[in-house]
Structure 1
């Protein structure tokens, strides 16, 4: 059985332990470029003991950002990205870039470019129509993922995480609810998984073994007629058989349709409303609970779903969701997961890993109130510290 604080192989690299700071958009790139604040955010995670920290979100194209204040991977970003990776490496940790295309989750008005999805549909987030991607768009997006991964490797990143979750573009292809195509990219699961597989292949072909390549994959969209666990397991088996990925990080939920299915805990409706101007503020106060649903929080809340994937796959898996202490980490190791990923608890206490390693009775102070979620618009942080 693996132990959480032993060095571990992830593809071509070795991490100092089996903990990963999950990708949580930092809200520290107002001009779409690395800032000193972003560097300090990840330096603190590295100094706090994680094996690897993940930068989110690095869009592969300008229209692939959820909104314009995000990094999109281009030569102009390289100097800042290089400073960022050097700062993390100086603290002894590895660093990953989460690369992807936001697809239907993108704010077209903010990006000043049309949002894209597997199929044309009305966005519940903006009230605008989202374009269905053309075959030419698909070719461009596949190449853009490879370009972004290469740029990440050139900037000193140790790993790239491909975003196949949360109903971002590739996830929208996996979802039968969002993918109504009648060509070679829609219909049965193998066709809906084609884009994910071709992106993984293109990225691996481009970067080889220079960096590890992982993917964040939805186990369940958490919406009616969305991607379900049976289809997701089939997609994961196809990705495993292709052999282009070094690990899968298992996630759930839809930023587009049901975000709280990932987070669990109390929905921060009032805090989200306060982050927006009128009339959106009133709209969120009145209708926010229909979108931000309540799923009770409990430790390791995604483990029951993740067990099915562990039983079906042999490739390394990263367990996310309710990992906050040594006991939950040990449970993950006992269940056969190779790594754990942590988000909210490290926002509150960036040094939590080091303190757990020193004293395995250490308890996270995070109460999973989710009030950190709306702070993505002003600098992601715990509001209780």
Structure 2
């Protein structure tokens, strides 16, 4: 398959190629609004040759952020987002907004509103208990996703990606261990999937086929009692049957309990601990090995799980995880995946795609050390790539959120 760099259709839009910049929180929105630094981050990736770049994270409500420095979708954010999409379009790429509600991954101390979870639980991010939403509040959250999608369209985005992964709100409802509700949103898998399906349909109705609608979904949570591959396959089949989504991006892991399942490679325990003040630093040293587990890196490390979804579904799928070389992209196409998503490799080299097009033997300079993970608190970046100096966004312990999007 040699069509990686040929134009490809994603719902109602056409991308110039099949490579998508995955959502990775940029750490460049100190006032929860677009900054010139955020625009440049995505403009540079677009200039580097991707088909589409994904802005992360655009929360659907103030309490849906992992900390209050993240963008939340409101009319005041539209003008800045329009500047961003204009800059991306000028480089020939499409722009996607990742929308969602962080749920139990939200930081209540930073956001100054309670974090939501399907059932009451203690949230170590905000050091307080979560709030269990009522049926009416769930309906409000579903409507907030639709409103966010409308604002994204107004801001010039070509697509939205709904966050159904990593134990963010919709993902936490899918999890048997986190969702202990006894109402229409708990118990059976059908009930636990209700929120995700309602959100997908509401978003699709809101944008009316004018922009693409995708979703990032967990194949498994990677924790005891969490969502499993067979359960996720059934949820994906329901989402496909509903017809609201143009593609699914396949991910894995939990921002609450097992983030390294998504990343693989060297766990950055020492540098992550350094970002924390005492006594949290001491506590992290005690639990760091169990929180940041070790998963050896290999190319396309989520492919084995993703094959189950490719066999079961007919809708377009986006393969994520260890996509850094042209051979891996071609393998994904041979296996039937319509698109691939890249994250850390583009932090190291935003122009990697252009280099690969010029020389097929090009190898990524990313060494999968994951030292970029702790930099979300000061502006997400690869430590081994020279960058312009700037004032970092300093967060207190109570303001620190999840480690990925």
Q: TM-score range by the shorter chain?
A: over 0.9
Q: Which residue of the partner structure matches residue 362 of structure 1?
A: 362
2:182 is the counterpart of 1:148: no
Correspondence 1:252 to 2:259: no
For the aligned residue pairs, the C-alpha RMSD in angstroms reads: 0.8
CA distance in 2, matches of 1:2, 1:306: 21
Mapped partners of 1:255, 1:143: distance in 2: 25
CA distance in 1, matches of 2:188, 2:124: 26
Q: Is the 8 A contact 2:110 2:126 kept in 1?
A: no
Shift of 1:2: 6.5
The answer on 1:110 being equivalent to 2:89 is no
Query: Partner of 1:95: helix, strand, or coil?
Result: strand
In structure 1, what is the equivalent of residue 68 of structure 2? 68
Does the 8 A contact of 2:145 with 2:203 survive in 1?
Answer: yes
Alignment gaps of 5+ in structure 2 = 386-405
Partner of 1:129: 129
Q: How does 1:1-385 map to 2 (within 5 A)?
A: 1=1, 3-385=3-385
CA contact (8 A) 1:247 1:315 kept: yes
State the Cα distance separating 1:123 from its structure 2 match: 1.8
In structure 1, distance between residues paired with 2:333 and 2:277? 45
Q: CA deviation at 1:33?
A: 0.2
Gaps of 5+ in 1: none
TM-superposed deviation, 1:384: 1.3
Q: CA deviation at 1:374?
A: 0.6
Q: Within 2, Cα distance between the matches of 1:118 and 1:311? A: 31
* Alpha-carbon spacing, 1:228–1:2, altered in 2? closer, same or farther (3 Å): farther
Q: Secondary structure at the match of 1:380?
A: coil
Distance 1:57 1:167 in 2: 15
Query: Deviation string for 1:74-130 (max 9, x for gaps)?
Result: 011011000000000000000000000000000100000000011111124343211
> 1:245-271, CA deviations, whole angstroms, 9 ceiling, x for partnerless residues?
000000000001111111011110111
Q: Please say if residues 109 and 127 of structure 2, whose CA atoms lie closer than 8 Å, have aligned partners that are also in contact.
A: no
Distance 1:18 1:104 in 2: 33
Would you say the 8 A contact 1:2–1:338 is kept in 2? no
Query: Under a length normalisation based on structure 2, what TM-score does the superposition of the two structures give?
Result: 0.94
Change (3 A) 1:2 1:182: farther
- Pick which of 369-378 and 118-127 moved more: 118-127
Q: Residues of 2 paired with 1:39 and 1:284: CA distance?
A: 34
- Please give the per-residue CA displacement for 1:298-355, whole angstroms capped at 9, x wherever unaligned: 1110000000000000000000000000010000000000000000000000000111
Using the alignment, how far apart are the partners of 1:267 and 1:254 within structure 2?
Answer: 15
Instruction: Return the alpha-carbon distance in structure 1 between the equivalents of residues 308 and 287 of structure 2.
Output: 35
Rounded Cα–Cα distance in structure 1 between residues aligned with 2:251 and 2:357: 25
What TM-score do you get using the length of structure 1 for normalisation? 0.99
When structure 1 is superposed on structure 2, of 1-10 and 175-184 the one drifting more is 1-10
